[in-house]
Amino acid sequence: MKKKSRNVGKYEVGRTIGEGTFAKVKFARNCETGESVAMKVLAKSTILKHRMVDQIKREISIMKIVRHPNIVRLQEVLAGRTKIFIILEFVSGGELFDKIVHQGKLPENESRKYFQQLIDAVAHCHSKGVYHRDLKPENLLLDAYGNLKVSDFGLSALPLQGDGLLHTTCGTPNYVAPEVLGDQGYDGSAADIWSCGVILFVLMAGYLPFDETNLSSLYRKINDAEFSCPFWFSPKANKLIHMILDPNPKTRIRIDGIRKDPWFKKNYAPLIYREDEEVSLDDVCAVFEDIEDQYVAERSEIKDGGPLLMNAFEMITLSQGLNLSALFDRRQDYVNRQTRFVSRKPAHVIISNVEAVAESMGLKVHTRNYKTRLEGISANRMGQFAVVLEVYEVAPSLFMVDVRKAAGDTLEYHKFYKNFCAKLEEIIWKPKEVMGRSNLLKTMTY
């Protein structure tokens, strides 16, 4: 059995819940308050190697500045000897994109509610002189109550000087405004509004307004605003979307105009919340300026011999309020931020089957300590596709395999996961009845 206990300062660190090229996000618990948090972990060596100090400082500073109920909250920043830890609000409801994948499209009233919350969050950012520049459903999370939370400010821009325009082409192609694709500079506010319009279209349609297999065709359609709304859009929604997806940023509707629109105003209740006291960035500066001398204690105790043992607290949080059915019913996986399955086969058998299936699908396989990374090329040939699988023992002879996207398109990932699980049917446990909460917790060892 491999038992792992790790603490960073006052936080007990648990499983990985997301990872990208430069950072991992871990589930963690504040040992003083019992509160669940998300811990973004960045290696100092990576930050220095890729000359990302200014970018990371900017992201942290922006998240401290933009405090709003519909924006993921940054709680604090810590520095270890080799890593930086960004402590964020833990948002348990998953990505909005997963909900779209699961349902195909959302009802107009539900789409409007999310769009209203998105506009409120974006308006708050703009009031602080911050432009997100990478708004898309994958960066919109849902909390336990179904409220939208904007995340991932890695491409955001702070207030500008000079001509007041942004000059960096960034973001995800399908959601990018036409003026961003040029090199004349662009208004960050108008560009964010365009992305919000694409998101609204996707929520209501279940597919993208601009979608081509090659970039040149995609850019042409975006530049010409060549799209049409499906027949089920109401006339008022159709009209608003066309005002937002106006290829001319100077005539494109602004946030004030959106808030006055009859379709938008239906059932709209502006949030009333207390603005926090003035935000200090002194701790951010301290983390980066004197990073070698100011650090939190990192304690780790590991005994090799098997997969990680998931404790009861992690199981409960993972299962969202003790609703453990999501762990055992793969049909529910699409509404979670991660996908996962359960097996009664030994851990080494699970890994060997995963490796064999992945290799049969033409993927490169890298395995270490019951954690496997699968790598390939995305279906549209535009970038890398990568998946990480990690085996946890949740009870004697009962293993959960946590599967998450590491790189690539989210929709492509869900298609991969469905196909991948179909090839692993022999090792996936499908109980006739979901085990009761109390019975499962009694069988767990911790």
333: which DSSP letter?
Answer: G
Q: Is 134 a catalytic residue?
A: yes
CA separation for the pair 100, 82 (Å, rounded): 39
Q: How many CA atoms lie within 13 A of 116 on its CB side?
A: 20
H or E element, residue 240: helix 235-244
Distance of CA 67 to the CA centre of its chain: 18
CA separation for the pair 230, 15 (Å, rounded): 41
Task: Tokens for 23, please give them.
Answer: 């950072």
Establish whether 49 is an annotated binding residue.
yes
> Active site residue: 134, 192, 246, 402, which one?
134
Task: Evaluate the CA torsion angle 172, 178, 184, 185 in order and state its sign.
Answer: negative
As to burial, measured by CB atoms within 10 angstroms (0-12 exposed, 13-18 middle, 19+ buried), residue 90 is: buried
Task: Tokens for 219, please give them.
Answer: 């850019």
> Do 101 and 138 form a contact (C-beta atoms < 8 A)?
no
User: Which segments of 261-382 does DSSP mark as H helices, in order?
Assistant: 262-265, 282-289, 312-318, 325-328, 347-360
Strands of 20-116, DSSP E: 24-30, 36-43, 74-79, 83-89
- Closest by CA to 385, choosing from 362, 360, 418, 402, is 362
CA separation for the pair 70, 258 (Å, rounded): 18
> Do 175 and 190 form a contact (C-beta atoms < 8 A)?
no
The catalytic residue positions are 134
Binding site as annotated, residues for ATP: 49
Binding site as annotated, residues: 49
